[in-house]
């Protein structure tokens, strides 16, 4: 009987809701947000050595607008950007540009900047100091590319607004993630762990998906964007951007990447303790007896240090930078989304609402459910933060021993401000965290970490998206979702059909959010939980308290703390500009240094390669464009069939002489199976900067080559 009940209930619910299915105004759009692909630190691993040298795939922003057809004010816009995290400064800039275009249509209340949390994109765009240390400060070009691209994605979504319906569902996902701090998870109460045995245990192993029918979808699945390792220096979108590319290009195979009309959304969920390195973590310690053995479990060390302990993705044996693993983890997410898109999902019904407040977490006093008053603390990083994770030992160089010999010029400027010695009150508040960086008190030359974060909830019918300013661990996400869902039911805002998802890191980067039990263990996620042991409970209390503002007829306005101060305009920026480009003597830009092989035809699986005299790609980001094409001769004329954003093509740039201003560009295309036989050529699009005068574009073309079936 109990086995029959659920399906009967599901049947009744879907019949009833189908009758009441709501119409929504829907808009979807994609745009390019790729910053400078060379000479710029990459964002995610916080590794000074990870400076980009070219392009694998462009980073994109995807926008979904959902509104009520007859009330313009009841509308939300959700952005899923191929970046490591949302940021207050970028969001502020985007909102200013949207206000100039759309007035009060898209605002701080209804606009969410969520990230895929990828680790192979261009860095330097965050406005706080700590995440700028490895990028040598703020990089205006990255910031500008993200802001401009997100606004363009919103423009495209806005232009495509049309009435339609939405459906929602979930499915299990196997092999897509693993817990990278399983020993910390085990400190959560056993009874609570037991509740989730069928949902993946120490990971959430299911995908939630909101279908826009033939126009696209938005899905959530928790897995870190760390499939590409820290030693990859080609700008890319990691597994979620790859999943979006694979899905979109399967729907419209002939469109260039980013030019499809179908928009596939692979958003991030409770990502904190997830990893795509599903084989586990092993010691890379040549010459040591433990080389190739699993790392020591509770500390993730090899021979007592963290540096050698690395997670392995499913394609570990296939290449050493993670490209195969990246595609495999992407494909698992694509398969889950395809399964859902070809199933009958539940209709989404009801109003569109949003609520947003700022919350100053530096000293937020609130009551736990049992009435005990507690408070959060100004931000601080624990010692384990410096150790990094098995996905990448992301150490800031200054924690590695002798700080007098730092190779980082930004650190040389800011180290005199190194975070003040924590007061007894801060030590007590953050306990048991041993404080390494007392960032909440570090405000010189400008704040190192945010103390004020964005709290935002978006409601689309019976779906509520919690937009999170950080990385919730698996159990932290479950607690938050369960508490908000209970509140939605208790207040009558939604009935038992309520779906709650978490999305982030979004809007502001408040680092990690572990449960108090995980916090007590102080692995990386606990050490990176900024505002003390009650960080999660503060969020649970705040998000729950905002639920009444999602009602069909909300009363009053929520109480908000002050918006955080604007920091971008005063940011330090030490990245040197491009000085000039020059070709070697007697050559010109685009001169072929190494031509493609023309003597023998190519076959699928082989790589075509050419080297050109180049110029610095920072001269022109070529947003919405390309640094290269593969062209095919079709009926006597050349047709572009691949761009720099196809994963089969690589663009690499290397300085030949800094003094002479010379550089080379390597272009390669690894021919996909199924590529039509024919005549092809490679093209390179560059932009050179003379010592005096303005930047000018040039093109170069390889010899013709043939591909046989
Ligand atoms: C930053 O880039 C924007 C364009 O995105 C430009 O208008 C502005 O002048 C730049 N600011 C600085 C300080 O270079
Ligand atoms: C998946 O969807 C079903 C049907 O709506 C629901 O009962 C179930 O709780 C969902 N599972 C998860 C893990 O959210
Ligand atoms: C993008 O698609 C539009 C319309 O489908 C087409 O006109 C345009 O040429 C395409 N752009 C590229 C770069 O393929
Ligand atoms: C880790 O586990 C080892 C062996 O089980 C134990 O000796 C050690 O104390 C543990 N370390 C921590 C930090 O828990
Ligand atoms: C890149 O890093 C991974 C993970 O640490 C390692 O296994 C691999 O050998 C490295 N590859 C290269 C080319 O250094
Ligand atoms: C935190 O706030 C409480 C009450 O508002 C106040 O008594 C206390 O001094 C504050 N602590 C700090 C560190 O600001
Ligand atoms: C309330 O709950 C907290 C956290 O579980 C606990 O530390 C505290 O002792 C509880 N207070 C009371 C009065 O039970
Ligand atoms: C930096 O070096 C100084 C002088 O050697 C030392 O007193 C200080 O503790 C060091 N700070 C860090 C964060 O290592
Ligand atoms: C470009 O190709 C040349 C010639 O094969 C090679 O020596 C060089 O390392 C390549 N440069 C990059 C940045 O891959
Ligand atoms: C490449 O093919 C085109 C079209 O057939 C032809 O016009 C051109 O001369 C060829 N280029 C070379 C270098 O052979």
95 and 79 Cβ atoms separated by less than 8 Å: no
Residue that wins the pLDDT comparison between 380 and 385: 380
Query: Do 632 and 562 share a structural domain?
Result: no
Q: Which residue has the tokens 């639920």?
A: 547
Q: Which atom of ligand 6 is nearest to the CA of 426?
A: 13
Q: Pick the residue whose CA is nearest to atom 4 on ligand 10.
A: 636
Provide the H-helix boundaries in 409-534.
409-414, 424-430, 474-490, 516-521, 524-527
Is position 56 annotated in a ligand binding site?
Answer: no
Task: Classify burial at 371, counting beta carbons within 10 Å of its beta carbon; exposed 0-12, middle 13-18, buried 19 or more.
Answer: exposed
Pick the closest to residue 333 from 235, 464, 432, 241 (CA basis): 241
Quickly state the pLDDT bin for 523 (edges 50, 70, 90): confident
For 235, phi and psi rounded to 5 degrees?
A: -60, 135
- Measured from the alpha carbon of residue 259, the closest ligand is 3
User: What is the whole-number distance in angstroms between the Cα of residue 428 and the centre of ligand 4?
Assistant: 25
The reply to whether 109 falls in a domain is yes
Q: Ligand 5 test: best mutation among 226, 229, 277, 314, most atoms within 8 Å of CB?
A: 229
Query: Do 612 and 562 share a structural domain?
Result: no
449 and 439 Cβ atoms separated by less than 8 Å: yes
User: What is the whole-number distance in angstroms between the Cα of residue 368 and the centre of ligand 7?
Assistant: 8
Q: Pick the residue whose CA is nearest to atom 11 on ligand 3.
A: 259
Query: Do 561 and 624 share a structural domain?
Result: no
Q: Ligand 6 test: best mutation among 363, 420, 427, 441, most atoms within 8 Å of CB?
A: 363
Instruction: State pLDDT tens for residues 441-478.
Output: 988 889 989 999 999 999 999 999 999 999 999 999 99
- pLDDT reading at 10 higher than 50: no
- Measured from the alpha carbon of residue 520, the closest ligand is 4
Q: Pick the residue whose CA is nearest to atom 1 on ligand 3.
A: 259
- pLDDT reading at 389 higher than 90: no
Query: Do 601 and 564 share a structural domain?
Result: no
User: What is the whole-number distance in angstroms between the Cα of residue 259 and the centre of ligand 3?
Assistant: 6
Quickly state the pLDDT bin for 409 (edges 50, 70, 90): low
* Total tally of structural domains belonging to the chain: 2
Alpha-carbon span 236 to 55, nearest angstrom: 7
Quickly state the pLDDT bin for 398 (edges 50, 70, 90): very low
Per residue in 570-583, is it b (16+ CB within 10 Å) or e — as a string?
Answer: ebeeebeebeebbb
Contacts of 533 (CB under 8 A, 6+ apart): 430, 431, 432, 433, 516, 519, 520
Q: Pick the residue whose CA is nearest to atom 13 on ligand 10.
A: 703
User: What is the whole-number distance in angstroms between the Cα of residue 209 and the centre of ligand 2?
Assistant: 11
Query: Do 196 and 339 share a structural domain?
Result: yes
Q: Pick the residue whose CA is nearest to atom 8 on ligand 6.
A: 363
User: What is the whole-number distance in angstroms between the Cα of residue 402 and the centre of ligand 8?
Assistant: 7
**Ligand 6: does its nearest atom lie under 6 Å from the Cβ of 363?**
yes
**Ligand 5: does its nearest atom lie under 6 Å from the Cβ of 231?**
yes
Average pLDDT, integer, range 679-686: 98
Contacts of 522 (CB under 8 A, 6+ apart): 382, 383, 384, 432, 433, 434
User: What is the whole-number distance in angstroms between the Cα of residue 473 and the centre of ligand 6?
Assistant: 28
Residue 345: CB atoms within 10 A of its CB come to 18
Residue 363: CB atoms within 10 A of its CB come to 15
Distance of CA 632 to the CA centre of its chain: 34
Query: Do 604 and 497 share a structural domain?
Result: no
pLDDT at 9 (0 to 100):
44
pLDDT at 308 (0 to 100):
85
pLDDT at 313 (0 to 100):
98
Half-sphere exposure of 443 (CA within 13 A, CB side): 8
Query: Do 642 and 559 share a structural domain?
Result: no
- pLDDT reading at 3 higher than 50: no
Instruction: State pLDDT tens for residues 129-158.
Output: 888 888 889 999 999 999 999 999 999 999
Question: In the structure, which protein residues have their CB atom closer than 6 angstroms to any atom of ligand 7?
Answer: 368, 370, 372
Quickly state the pLDDT bin for 400 (edges 50, 70, 90): very low
Q: Write down the pTM of the prediction.
A: 0.93
Query: Do 652 and 560 share a structural domain?
Result: no
The reply to whether 128 falls in a domain is yes
Q: Which atom of ligand 5 is nearest to the CA of 312?
A: 4
Is position 471 annotated in a ligand binding site?
Answer: yes
Q: Ligand 1 test: best mutation among 35, 144, 148, 623, most atoms within 8 Å of CB?
A: 144
User: What is the whole-number distance in angstroms between the Cα of residue 525 and the centre of ligand 4?
Assistant: 18
Final residue of a structural domain among 536, 569, 602: 569
Quickly state the pLDDT bin for 648 (edges 50, 70, 90): very high
The reply to whether 15 falls in a domain is no
Q: What percent of the chain has pLDDT over 70?
A: 93
Is 275 part of the annotated catalytic residue set?
yes
**Ligand 8: does its nearest atom lie under 6 Å from the Cβ of 403?**
yes
Alpha-carbon span 334 to 10, nearest angstrom: 26
75-81/111-115 β-pairing: parallel
Tell me which DSSP letter residue 567 carries.
-
Question: Cis bond leading into 622, ω under 30°?
Answer: no
Final residue of a structural domain among 517, 538, 569: 569
- pLDDT reading at 406 higher than 70: no
Half-sphere exposure of 306 (CA within 13 A, CB side): 19
Least confident range of 238-252, 292-306, 639-653: 292-306
Alpha-carbon span 74 to 66, nearest angstrom: 9
**Ligand 6: does its nearest atom lie under 6 Å from the Cβ of 421?**
no
Residue in 114, 237, 275, 503 annotated catalytic:
275
Query: Do 610 and 481 share a structural domain?
Result: no
Please report, for residues 28, 530, 623, 635, the alpha-carbon distance to residue 439 in angstroms, rounded to integers and kept in the order given: 39, 9, 35, 63
167-172/206-211 β-pairing: antiparallel
pLDDT at 668 (0 to 100):
98
Quickly state the pLDDT bin for 387 (edges 50, 70, 90): low
Half-sphere exposure of 359 (CA within 13 A, CB side): 29
Q: Pick the residue whose CA is nearest to atom 10 on ligand 2.
A: 170
The reply to whether 560 falls in a domain is yes
Average pLDDT, integer, range 259-273: 97
Alpha-carbon span 173 to 247, nearest angstrom: 16
Alpha-carbon span 261 to 300, nearest angstrom: 44
512-513/471-472 β-pairing: parallel
Helix (H, G, I), strand (E, B) or coil at 87: coil
For every residue of 166-204, which 3-state class applies, written as one string? CEEEEEECCCCCEECCHHHHCCCCHHHHHHCHHHCCCCC
Is position 68 annotated in a ligand binding site?
Answer: no
Average pLDDT, integer, range 384-394: 71
pLDDT at 709 (0 to 100):
85
51-55/649-657 β-pairing: antiparallel
**Ligand 10: does its nearest atom lie under 6 Å from the Cβ of 704?**
yes
Least confident range of 414-423, 580-589, 672-681: 414-423
The reply to whether 296 falls in a domain is no
Query: Do 50 and 115 share a structural domain?
Result: yes
Query: Do 482 and 620 share a structural domain?
Result: no
Pick the closest to residue 507 from 107, 142, 159 (CA basis): 107
Query: Do 698 and 642 share a structural domain?
Result: yes
The reply to whether 177 falls in a domain is yes
User: What is the whole-number distance in angstroms between the Cα of residue 79 and the centre of ligand 5?
Assistant: 33
Mean residue pLDDT of the chain comes to 93
User: What is the whole-number distance in angstroms between the Cα of residue 365 and the centre of ligand 7?
Assistant: 15
**Ligand 6: does its nearest atom lie under 6 Å from the Cβ of 406?**
no
List the Cα angle 371/372/375 in 5-degree steps: 125
**Ligand 4: does its nearest atom lie under 6 Å from the Cβ of 363?**
no
The reply to whether 168 falls in a domain is yes
Is position 117 annotated in a ligand binding site?
Answer: yes
- CATH number at 600 reads 2.60.40.2300
pLDDT at 21 (0 to 100):
80
Q: Pick the residue whose CA is nearest to atom 1 on ligand 6.
A: 363
The reply to whether 77 falls in a domain is yes
- Name the residue range of residue 678's domain: 592-707
- In the chain the first and final C-alpha atoms are separated, in Å, by 59
Alpha-carbon span 225 to 44, nearest angstrom: 9
Least confident range of 37-41, 230-234, 402-406, 421-425: 402-406
Quickly state the pLDDT bin for 296 (edges 50, 70, 90): confident
Please report, for residues 226, 249, 480, the alpha-carbon distance to residue 469 in angstroms, rounded to integers and kept in the order given: 19, 31, 13
Please report, for residues 76, 246, 309, 654, the alpha-carbon distance to residue 645 in angstroms, rounded to integers and kept in the order given: 29, 12, 32, 19
**Ligand 6: does its nearest atom lie under 6 Å from the Cβ of 423?**
no
- Measured from the alpha carbon of residue 537, the closest ligand is 7
284 and 310 Cβ atoms separated by less than 8 Å: yes
Q: Which atom of ligand 5 is nearest to the CA of 316?
A: 7
Quickly state the pLDDT bin for 435 (edges 50, 70, 90): confident
Q: Which atom of ligand 7 is nearest to the CA of 374?
A: 3
Secondary structure element (H or E) that encloses residue 641, with its range: strand 637-643
Q: Which atom of ligand 8 is nearest to the CA of 404?
A: 2
């Amino acid at each position: 009987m109990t086995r029959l009940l659920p399906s009967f209930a599901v049947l009744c619910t879907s019949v009833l809701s189908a009758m009441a299915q709501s119409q929504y105004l829907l808009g979807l759009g994609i745009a390019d947000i790729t910053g400078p692909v060379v000479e710029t630190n990459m964002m995610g691993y916080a590794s000074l050595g990870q400076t980009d040298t070219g392009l694998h795939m462009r980073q994109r922003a995807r926008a979904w607008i959902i509104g009520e057809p007859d009330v313009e004010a009841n509308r939300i816009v959700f952005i899923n950007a191929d970046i490591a995290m949302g940021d207050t400064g970028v969001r502020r800039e985007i909102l200013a540009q949207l206000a100039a275009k759309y007035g009060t249509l898209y605002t701080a209340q209804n606009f969410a900047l969520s990230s895929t949390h990828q680790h192979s994109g261009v860095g330097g765009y965050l406005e706080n100091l700590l995440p700028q240390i490895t990028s040598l400060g703020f990089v205006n070009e990255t910031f500008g590319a993200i802001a401009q691209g997100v606004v363009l994605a919103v423009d495209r979504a806005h232009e495509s607004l049309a009435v339609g319906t939405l459906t929602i569902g979930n499915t299990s996902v196997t092999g897509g993630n693993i817990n990278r701090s399983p020993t910390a998870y085990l400190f959560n109460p056993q009874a609570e762990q037991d509740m989730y045995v069928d949902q993946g245990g120490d990971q959430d192993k299911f995908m939630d998906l909101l279908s826009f029918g033939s126009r696209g979808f938005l899905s959530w699945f928790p897995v870190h964007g760390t499939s590409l390792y820290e030693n990859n220096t080609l700008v890319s979108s990691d597994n979620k951007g790859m999943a979006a590319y694979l899905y979109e290009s399967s729907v419209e195979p002939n469109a260039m990447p980013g030019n499809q009309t179908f928009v596939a959304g692979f958003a991030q969920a409770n990502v904190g303790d997830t990893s795509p390195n599903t084989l586990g973590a092993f010691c890379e310690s040549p010459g040591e007896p433990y080389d190739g053995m699993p790392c020591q479990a509770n500390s993730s060390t090899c021979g007592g240090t963290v540096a050698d302990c690395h997670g392995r993705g499913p394609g570990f044996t296939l290449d050493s930078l993670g490209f195969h693993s990246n595609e495999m983890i992407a494909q698992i997410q694509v398969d889950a989304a395809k399964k859902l898109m070809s199933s009958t999902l539940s209709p989404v019904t009801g109003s569109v609402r949003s609520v947003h407040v700022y919350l100053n977490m530096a000293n937020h006093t609130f009551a736990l459910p049992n009435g005990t008053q507690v408070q959060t603390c100004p931000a601080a990083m624990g010692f384990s933060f410096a150790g990094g994770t098995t996905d990448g030992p992301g150490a800031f160089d200054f924690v590695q021993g002798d700080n007098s010999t730092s190779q980082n010029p930004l650190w040389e400027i800011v180290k005199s401000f190194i975070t003040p010695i924590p007061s007894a009150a801060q030590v007590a508040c953050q306990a048991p965290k041993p404080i390494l960086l007392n960032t909440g008190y570090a405000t010189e030359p400008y704040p190192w970490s945010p103390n004020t974060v964005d709290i935002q909830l978006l409601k689309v019918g019976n779906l509520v998206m919690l937009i999170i300013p950080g990385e919730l661990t698996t159990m932290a996400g479950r607690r938050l979702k369960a508490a908000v869902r209970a509140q939605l039911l208790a207040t009558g805002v939604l009935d038992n059909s309520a779906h709650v998802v978490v999305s982030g890191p979004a809007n502001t980067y408040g680092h990690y959010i572990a449960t108090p039990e995980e916090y007590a263990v102080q692995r990386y996620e606990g050490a990176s939980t900024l505002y003390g042991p009650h960080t999660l409970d503060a969020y649970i209390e705040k998000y729950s308290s905002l639920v009444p503002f999602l009602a069909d007829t909300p009363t009053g306005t929520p109480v908000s703390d002050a918006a955080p101060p604007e920091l971008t305009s005063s940011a330090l920026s030490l990245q040197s500009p491009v000085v000039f480009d020059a070709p070697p003597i007697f050559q010109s830009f685009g001169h072929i240094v190494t031509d493609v092989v023309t003597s023998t035809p190519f076959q699928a699986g082989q790589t075509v390669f050419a080297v050109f005299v180049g110029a610095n790609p920072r001269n022109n980001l070529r947003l919405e464009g390309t640094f290269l094409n593969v062209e095919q001769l079709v009926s006597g004329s050349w047709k572009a069939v691949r761009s720099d954003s196809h994963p089969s093509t690589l663009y690499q740039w290397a300085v030949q002489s800094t003094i002479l201003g010379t550089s080379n560009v390597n272009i390669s295309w690894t021919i996909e199976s199924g590529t039509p036989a024919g005549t092809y050529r490679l093209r390179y699009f560059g932009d050179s900067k003379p010592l005096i005068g303005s930047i000018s574009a040039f093109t170069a073309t390889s010899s013709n080559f043939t591909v046989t079936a």
